[in-house]
């Protein structure tokens, strides 16, 4: 129940994205140039879903791109300016919108139209005149599949304990960003972050407090990164990484120091720590600059070595 969910994640500053939709109604976008059709559909669906309406393909694209994408789209085909096939193609070109299930709802009742629509990637194809009960049942089934897929996607990309990106997600992003940095001739920085004397923290306060500390640190790291392209991830254990595209070493060192301060400012007691009375981190900085390109392995190795230096020279500091 919601109550259990609330207790389990009580200390969690943000809801688990896997469950984020529990209280929110799913959103259905209806795209049809006929006001009569949109009205009928809206009246029959608005008890169960939040309804968005677009009376043209262009309008549909602007709705999808200006807010959170809907969970499913009912899409007419024959419309002025841009037909439904074109709308689907555009949505499938973008990472952000390519997984929204689309059901064609159309008066084109020829087999070749249906075959074409399904081959373009529509999840279903319903011809007009439609039976409202069947449309409803199909939407319900497709939405169930979609939310199952969303849950799976989150569990492959998100670390269970801390709710930030996991190692798999980080590896994927790092490979992409290395390619992009080469293509664009830009810098790419990577931070390797390790909590200082965390074994002592666990020994003093117990593993449950340890887990709580990891969640707080993860949340603070993620929140301290201000640009949407930056990524904070849990590398494993008490180690975290940040990926900073288009960031040179000087700038990366600045960000690393901001993160270091953000963690001290959490004021999580670690009273026997030789470093400070609070939980602290050490950070290793590695940069692949536009002149001196690095590979995946080189960046990680450099960041690791820098982290080791930060540890050896006293902890609660950054090193490049
Ligand atoms: P250093 O300053 O050199 O990094 O010392 P440290 O004690 O942090 O390093 P060490 O690698 O010896 O200890 C890491 C500790 O992190 C040991 C392990 O029990 C703890 N740890 C790793 N993963 C988790 C976790 O998921 N939850 C909790 N509570 N502790 C964890
Ligand atoms: Mg039409
Ligand atoms: Mg460690
Ligand atoms: Mg450590």
Residue 39 has pLDDT above 80, yes or no: yes
Q: In the predicted model, what is the mean pLDDT of residues 257-273?
A: 96
User: So what's the pLDDT on residue 150?
Assistant: 87
What's the gap in Å between 307 CA and the centre of ligand 3?
A: 10
Q: Are the beta carbons of 29 and 70 closer than 8 angstroms?
A: yes
Task: Give the burial string for 134-164 (b: 16+ CB within 10 Å, else e).
Answer: ebbebbeebbeebeeebeeeeeebbbeebbb
Q: In the predicted model, what is the mean pLDDT of residues 220-240?
A: 96
Residues recorded for the chain: 320
Residue 10 has pLDDT above 50, yes or no: no
Q: In the predicted model, what is the mean pLDDT of residues 17-25?
A: 53
Residue 17 has pLDDT above 60, yes or no: no
Pocket test for ligand 1, best of 11, 195, 198 (most atoms within 8 A of CB): 198
Residue 27 has pLDDT above 70, yes or no: yes
Residue 6 has pLDDT above 60, yes or no: no
What's the gap in Å between 12 CA and the centre of ligand 1?
A: 21
What ipTM does this complex have? Answer: 0.96
C-beta 80 within 6 A of ligand 1: no
- Mean of the per-residue pLDDT values for the chain? 91
Give the predicted TM-score (pTM) of the model: 0.71
DSSP 158: B
User: So what's the pLDDT on residue 241?
Assistant: 98
Q: Lowest-pLDDT range, 64-68, 219-223, 256-260? A: 64-68
What's the gap in Å between 175 CA and the centre of ligand 2?
A: 44
pLDDT confidence of 23, banded at 50, 70, 90?
low
Task: Please indicate whether residue 67 or residue 263 has the higher confidence score (pLDDT).
Answer: 263
What is the phi-psi region of residue 50: left when phi exceeds 0, alpha when psi lies from -120 to 50, beta otherwise?
Answer: beta
pLDDT confidence of 165, banded at 50, 70, 90?
very high
Pocket test for ligand 1, best of 164, 192, 199, 270 (most atoms within 8 A of CB): 199
Percent of the chain topping pLDDT 70? 93
What's the gap in Å between 239 CA and the centre of ligand 3?
A: 6
pLDDT confidence of 3, banded at 50, 70, 90?
very low
């Amino acid at each position: 129940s919601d109550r259990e969910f609330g207790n389990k994640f009580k200390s969690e500053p943000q809801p688990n994205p896997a469950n984020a939709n529990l209280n929110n109604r799913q959103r259905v976008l209806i795209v049809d140039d006929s006001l009569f059709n949109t009205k009928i559909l809206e009246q029959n669906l608005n008890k169960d879903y939040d309804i968005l309406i677009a009376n043209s393909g262009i309008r549909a694209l602007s709705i999808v791109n200006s807010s959170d994408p809907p969970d499913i789209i009912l899409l007419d085909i024959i419309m002025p300016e841009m037909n439904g096939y074109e709308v689907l193609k555009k949505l499938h070109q973008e990472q952000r919108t390519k997984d929204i299930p689309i059901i064609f709802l159309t008066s084109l009742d020829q087999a070749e139209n249906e075959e074409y629509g399904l081959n373009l990637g529509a999840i279903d194809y319903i011809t007009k005149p439609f039976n409202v009960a069947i449309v409803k049942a199909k939407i319900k089934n497709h939405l169930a599949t979609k939310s199952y897929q969303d849950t799976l996607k989150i569990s492959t990309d998100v670390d269970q304990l801390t709710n930030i990106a996991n190692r798999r997600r980080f590896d994927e992003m790092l490979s992409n960003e290395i390619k992009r940095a080469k293509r664009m001739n830009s810098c790419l920085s990577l931070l390797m972050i390790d909590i200082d004397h965390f074994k002592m923290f666990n020994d003093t306060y117990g593993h449950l407090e340890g887990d709580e500390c990891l969640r707080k640190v993860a949340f603070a790291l993620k929140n301290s990164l201000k640009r949407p392209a930056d990524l904070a991830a849990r590398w494993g254990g008490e180690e975290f990484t940040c990926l900073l595209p288009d960031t040179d070493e000087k700038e990366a060192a600045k960000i690393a120091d901001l993160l270091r301060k953000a963690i001290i400012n959490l004021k999580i007691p670690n009273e026997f720590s030789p470093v400070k009375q609070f939980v602290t981190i050490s950070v290793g900085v590695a940069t692949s600059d536009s002149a001196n390109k690095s590979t995946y392995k080189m960046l990680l190795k450099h960041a690791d070595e820098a982290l080791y230096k930060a540890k050896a020279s006293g902890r609660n500091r950054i090193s490049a």
